[in-house]
Amino acid sequence: MKMRNHWIEFVYQNVQTIRNFFVPFVGVTIFNPTSLQWPVIVGIFAVLTVLWSFVSWFNHTFSLTENSIVIERGVLSKSVNTIPLESVRSVHTSDSLIKRWLKIENVKVETIGGDEVLFVLKHAVVQRLEKEIFKQPLSTKPSNNTWRLGIKNLVILSLDVRILLPAISFGFWLFGKATDWLKDDLPKGSFLKSDAKNVLHLSFWLEHGWVIFLSAVGLLLLIWVASGIRTFLKYGRYVLSRESEELIVSYGVLNRKTYRIPVHYIRSIVLEEPLRFLMTGSVRVKVENVGIGSGEEATIELFPIVQKQRLQTYLNAYLPEFTYEKPRTKSPTQGYILYALHNLFSGFSLFIYVLLGFLIYYTSLSIYSYAGWLIIVWLHSYIQWKNNAVGYKQKGFITVQRWRRGKRETTVFLSHYLQSVKCIQTGIDRACRVQTYTLYVYSEALIEEYTIRHIEMSLKQNFYKILQKKGLKFHY
């Protein structure tokens, strides 16, 4: 039996087309309002668009046979894609408030090689599809072994450091307004010369400072509440469960999403620790599928936030195939110097040096601002060095820990997915008796690489032994 996208998709496609051509049509109408032919042209275009959309929608069909999924599409040229059920990597479903009322869902079937098939089907059809693929229906009720996201964890998730930026910007705006209020009382040029410290009088702060402070704090609280609402809408009703050999992750209040992942296709787990997580001893856990797609489906959140000291307990309950062990091999002391040298002479640092020189020459900015930048570089280098580590002694796993994008990121992947290792050693690396390793890890969508900088040279032999067991090559 052939099935098609729900009729709501046909309506959606036409609305999208109208939205895309609305501005050009309005523009032509404004510049040529007296043309009698223009309404006729618009009418003919609208009719042709609707007819083409209907024919495209009608010819895009979905069939589920005993052993395969058959996708047919095309108007002028016909294409047929036959997907064996055994080639399906995972099934993701999502819906919105309107689609929930209509009892339909977006269903995305991910196949070998990272290819994806997206349809909008009735809920009953989705249930049948999952039953055929996974040999058992997806229950809408959580199983006995489920994990839920608590209120305390939602509060921590909402404390995103990005909510501070609007409040800080608002504070600077208030400070600028305060200087404008007092500029008539200040000597000319005080904003650029040494008497800039008199920009604000003490009497002004005594009278109005508390208003500025409370305004900034009030805005910060308002933004935090908005961030809390956004977090609740995204992670509300979060449920993780395991049924046989599949993990089922479901979350969302308005736009609810459900991911069903066969455990034997999971290649690695990723532990993320932003600053607020490090302060609370928490960690975010994601899983990566072998045939990953893109965007949000590439790494699916298994635990948005859990206590790190209980991480292994949760893994044992839901993903016992993986074990986390803190990586022990860290960058030696001389690696810190190499990190600092790399950051001091990076392209971004050179840009900052030029920018500071320009500001110092044309404004009252002090030359000591260079010292401030150097302190930031040295601190950042220390954080990178401190969080750079690798673990390989745990049987069957390789652990890579790095500092990336303002958070500590630890990847634990199965060692049999390691394809090759490249070693890079500069002259200064050789003098410090360290080198940089790049691990190439298998993925059906792409070859991923993990770089471990300035680690001791003896690590090379250990990676070589791992690759020898697979009969693969090692790049020196």
| pLDDT tens figures, 75-134 | 777 778 777 777 776 677 777 777 777 777 788 777 665 566 677 877 777 777 777 766
Tokens at 271, concatenated: 């532990």
DSSP-derived pairing of the beta strands 88-94 and 79-84: unpaired
CA-closest candidate to residue 104, choices 243, 251, 299, 256: 256
CA 234 to chain centroid, in Å, comes to 14
| pLDDT tens figures, 269-299 | 999 999 888 888 999 999 887 654 444 445 7
16-24 long-range Cβ contacts below 8 angstroms, 24+ apart: 17/49, 17/53, 21/45
Predicted pLDDT at 344: 92
Residue located via tokens 């040529």: 32
Cβ atoms within 10 Å, residue 330 = 18
CA–CA distance, 267 with 90 (Å, rounded to integer):
13
Predicted pLDDT at 168: 63
Residue located via tokens 């990676």: 463
CA-closest candidate to residue 312, choices 289, 283, 288: 283
Predicted pLDDT at 401: 92
CA–CA distance, 461 with 169 (Å, rounded to integer):
52
> What b/e string do you get for 19-58 counting C-beta neighbours within 10 Å, with b at 16 or more?
eeeeeeeeeeeeeeeeeeeeeeeeeeeeeeeeeebeeebe
Backbone angles phi, psi at 143, to 5 degrees: -75, 175
- What is the mean pLDDT of the segment spanning 35-54? 76
- What is the mean pLDDT of the segment spanning 401-412? 90
Which residues partner with 61 through β-bridges? 4, 72
CATH class belonging to 2-134: mainly beta
CA–CA distance, 71 with 63 (Å, rounded to integer):
7
Q: Where in the chain is the domain with CATH 2.30.29.30?
A: 2-134
DSSP state of 475: B
Write down the mean pLDDT value for the chain: 76
Which of 8-22, 51-65, 375-389, 404-418: highest mean pLDDT? 375-389
- What is the mean pLDDT of the segment spanning 132-146? 55
| pLDDT tens figures, 339-373 | 999 999 999 999 999 998 888 888 777 888 889 89
